[in-house]
Every structure is written in C-alpha cells, then in structure tokens.
C-alpha cells in the first residue's frame, strides 16, 4: 500500500501512520459499551414528559390513568413514554385486575432527579447573582 500523493515524503504520513490515525479516531469516537448505556439512559431522560412521569412516581406507584390525569396527556402518549422508560429499566409495572401500577424500579432514579434539581438550582442561583450584578452595574 503506497502512501497517498499528498503524504509523499512527509514524516508521520506513511501507511502505518494512517492506520494508527484511523485506530485513534475509532478509539476516541466510538463510545464504550458503558458510555453507550449512559447515553441511552440520558436520551430516555431527555423528554419533559418522561421526567414528569418519573417525578410522579417518586412519591408512590400510579396507574396510567392517574398519570394521564396528573400530566394532562392522552393515554397513548403516557403509555408510549412508559414503554420507553420500561425498556431502559427505569420503571416497572405490576398488574392488579385490569389496572397496571407503575413504580420506579430503583430509588436511585429518584436520587438522580434530586441531583438534577440541585444542579439546576445552583445554575439558576448563579444566574440570579449575575443578573443582580448586571442591574447594580446599570445603576452606576
């Protein structure tokens, strides 16, 4: 395999260097299995309705109808979001008669939501501080 004409005579541009660059690119760009799982988790959390569903479930188990009423969403929409959350093992369902009761699969989901609220609270506090500083600057 001859190096491309653009590489002729340049150090670090031989066939092995090109192959190493490709492997370096693959190593950096392709996420590990764990990173892919984390990304999938955050994609599942990336919809406001799913966050609201999880927040509802932090206090107690609920039926689809209860969530539908609380969220003011249609049943197919709630069911679709619940299916996405079940697929990521964030919620679980138990049947009782004709009703399905949903609950968080782990209390760690509630903890994740709490940490997210805390993180956003810090960010908003910082924004408020900057806004106050800007207003004080305006009055000078």
Rounded to an integer, what distance in angstroms lies between the CA atom of residue 82 and that of residue 104?
Answer: 11
Q: How confident is the model at residue 1 (pLDDT cuts 50, 70, 90)?
A: very low
Between 18-27, 59-68, 94-103, 131-140, the lowest mean confidence (pLDDT) is in 18-27
Rounded to an integer, what distance in angstroms lies between the CA atom of residue 81 and that of residue 78?
Answer: 5
> How would you classify the pairing of strands 99-104 and 62-63?
antiparallel
Question: Is a pLDDT exceeding 70 seen at residue 6?
Answer: no
Q: How confident is the model at residue 63 (pLDDT cuts 50, 70, 90)?
A: very high
Say which residues have a Cβ less than 8 Å from residue 55's Cβ, sequence separation at least 6.
Answer: 113
Rounded to an integer, what distance in angstroms lies between the CA atom of residue 43 and that of residue 6?
Answer: 41
Angle (CA) 23-29-31 rounded to 5° is: 110
How is residue 34 written in tokens? 């764990």
Global confidence as pTM = 0.69
């Amino acid at each position: 395999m001859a190096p491309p004409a653009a590489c002729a005579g340049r150090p670090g541009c031989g066939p092995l260097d090109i192959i190493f660059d490709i492997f370096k690119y693959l190593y950096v760009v392709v996420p590990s299995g764990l990173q892919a799982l984390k990304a999938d988790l955050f994609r599942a959390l990336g919809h406001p309705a799913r966050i609201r569903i999880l927040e509802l479930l932090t206090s107690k188990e609920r039926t689809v109808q209860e969530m539908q009423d609380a969220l003011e969403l249609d049943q197919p929409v709630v069911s679709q979001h619940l299916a996405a959350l079940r697929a990521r093992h964030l919620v679980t369902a138990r049947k009782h008669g004709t009703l399905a009761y949903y609950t968080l699969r782990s209390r760690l989901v509630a903890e994740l939501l709490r940490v997210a609220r805390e993180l956003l609270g810090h960010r908003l506090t910082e924004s408020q501080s900057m806004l106050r500083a800007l207003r004080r600057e305006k009055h000078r």
